[in-house]
């Protein structure tokens, strides 16, 4: 199989790419302060790992006063309720074109899926995560006190959190965009979920999460918080989010959970066998490269910076790509936009130590 021939998702084992890294759950599982959360974390750690198309008709009047009918891509969302069990998919509680329901989590999941779909369509002309209009399915209220949200290769799954450390995960647009971002990676480069390719997988998912929120709120790169998972911690936790893309290592610092371990550059790269080789930890390095690139360019991050990253991801990127390989791919795409855009990409990657800056202020891979 060449790098351009991706194995269909149906032929692969289901994934379990959760927003909460295992090292954070393991730390929480030892907590004496948050006893309820500790038990929930332990249960989350041992829990088992658990395609239709749609379009919409739009009518408009052209300059001659004639009625024009066009068919455009549209999301096809189905939200199910697991009712506190770990059985998927659960009971269907809301489908496309149905009104809001009484369950807030259902509506939040529905809206988050829609926001991600719209980002992919507007920014990258991508029709859903597979590019072919794949239905967006999600399950809420998964497990009892389940401390995670994840993409399993087919659907989004949301736990409700333990109530002491983690709150429900459906309220965070960045979480939903991140998890569906794993789906986009799955259908494009299929980056291996181990070591540097795995950290790139996590980072690119964070990029999709951040861009989904910024697109929804119509924020520029300067206005954005660049936080992933803001609001998923309860007020008891000393932290503002799960990760900071612009300032890795600063998202939380809690007596029980410890300090955010993400490095901001290659000097702090963590070599470990935990966390699939540090996929959630070392993702802070390419995260910061993207945030620096987007801020340097200014304006809406999904327009130029996001498009550069997306084209690098979907342009035949090897599944085993290292940080340096991905950096070269993004720089090549940035150079196609303009020399200034290419230079901004070079300096971003040089700032995090993935490539070396040259004496003329540019950088070399």
| Mean pLDDT score across all residues of the chain | 87
Instruction: For residue 31, name the pLDDT band (cuts at 50, 70, 90).
Output: confident
Buried b or exposed e, range 136-156, using 16+ CB within 10 angstroms:
bbbbbbbbbbbbbbbbbbbbb
Q: What is the pLDDT of residue 362?
A: 52
DSSP 65: S
Buried b or exposed e, range 40-78, using 16+ CB within 10 angstroms:
bbbbbeebeebeeebeeeeeeeeeeeeeeeeeebbbbbb
Q: Rounded to an integer, what is the distance from CA 350 to the centroid of its chain?
A: 24
pTM, 2 dp: 0.84
Q: What is the pLDDT of residue 14?
A: 42
Cα dihedral 272/274/277/280 (nearest 10): -110
Q: Are 45 and 22 in contact (CB under 8 A)?
A: yes
Above pLDDT 90, what percent of the chain?
Answer: 75
Instruction: For residue 279, name the pLDDT band (cuts at 50, 70, 90).
Output: very high
Q: Encode pLDDT of 103-115 as tens digits.
A: 999 999 999 999 9
Instruction: For residue 48, name the pLDDT band (cuts at 50, 70, 90).
Output: low
How many residues belong to the chain?
A: 365
How buried is 356 (Cβ within 10 angstroms: 0-12 exposed, 13-18 middle, 19+ buried)?
A: exposed
Cα distances from 327 to residues 321, 344, 360, in angstroms, run 10, 12, 19
Task: Tell me if residue 280 is catalytic.
Answer: yes
Q: What is the pLDDT of residue 60?
A: 56
- Grouping H, G, I as helix, E, B as strand and the rest as coil, residue 56 is strand
Task: Tell me if residue 179 is catalytic.
Answer: yes
> Which of 141, 178, 215, 280 does the annotation list as catalytic?
280
Q: Is the pLDDT at 50 greater than 80, yes or no?
A: no
Q: Where are the domains of the chain?
A: 9-364
First to last CA, the chain: 28
* Range 9-364 has CATH code 3.40.50.2000: no
Above pLDDT 70, what percent of the chain?
Answer: 84
DSSP 34: -
Cα–Cα distance, 166 to 160 (Å, whole number): 8
> Which of 141, 154, 178, 179 does the annotation list as catalytic?
179
In the block, residue with structure tokens 């996929």? 279
Q: Encode pLDDT of 237-276 as tens digits.
A: 999 999 999 999 999 999 999 999 999 999 999 999 999 9
């Amino acid at each position: 199989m060449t790098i351009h021939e991706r194995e269909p998702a149906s032929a692969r084992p289901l994934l379990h790419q959760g927003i909460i890294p295992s090292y954070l759950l393991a730390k929480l599982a030892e907590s004496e302060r948050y006893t309820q959360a500790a038990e929930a974390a332990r249960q989350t750690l041992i829990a088992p790992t658990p395609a239709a198309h749609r379009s919409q008709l739009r009518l408009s009047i052209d300059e001659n006063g004639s009625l024009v009918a066009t068919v455009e891509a549209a999301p096809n969302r189905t939200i199910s309720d697991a009712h506190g069990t770990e059985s998927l998919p659960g009971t269907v509680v809301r489908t496309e074109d149905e009104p809001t329901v009484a369950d807030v989590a259902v509506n939040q999941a529905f809206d988050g899926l829609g926001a991600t779909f719209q980002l992919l369509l507007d920014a990258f002309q991508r029709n859903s995560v597979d590019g072919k209009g794949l239905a967006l399915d999600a399950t809420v209220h998964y497990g009892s006190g389940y401390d995670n949200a994840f993409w399993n290769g087919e659907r989004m799954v949301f736990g409700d959190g333990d109530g002491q450390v983690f709150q429900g995960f459906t309220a965070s647009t960045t979480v939903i965009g991140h998890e569906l971002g794993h789906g986009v990676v799955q259908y494009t480069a299929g980056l291996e979920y181990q070591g540097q390719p795995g950290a790139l997988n996590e980072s690119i998912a964070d990029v999709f999460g951040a861009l989904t929120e910024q697109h929804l709120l119509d924020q520029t790169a300067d206005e954005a918080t660049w936080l992933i998972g803001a609001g998923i911690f309860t007020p008891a936790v000393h932290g503002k989010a799960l990760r900071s893309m612009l300032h890795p290592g600063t998202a939380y610092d809690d007596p029980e959970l410890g300090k955010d371990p993400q490095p901001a550059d290659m000097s702090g790269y963590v070599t470990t066998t935990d966390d699939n080789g540090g996929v959630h930890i070392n993702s802070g390095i390419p995260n910061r490269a993207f945030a620096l690139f987007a801020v340097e360019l200014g304006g809406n991050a999904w327009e130029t910076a996001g498009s550069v990253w997306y084209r690098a991801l979907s342009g035949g990127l090897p599944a085993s790509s290292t940080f340096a390989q991905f950096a070269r791919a993004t720089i090549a795409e940035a150079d196609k936009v303009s020399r200034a855009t290419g230079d901004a990409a070079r300096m971003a990657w040089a700032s995090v130590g993935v490539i070396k800056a040259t004496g003329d202020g540019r950088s070399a891979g």
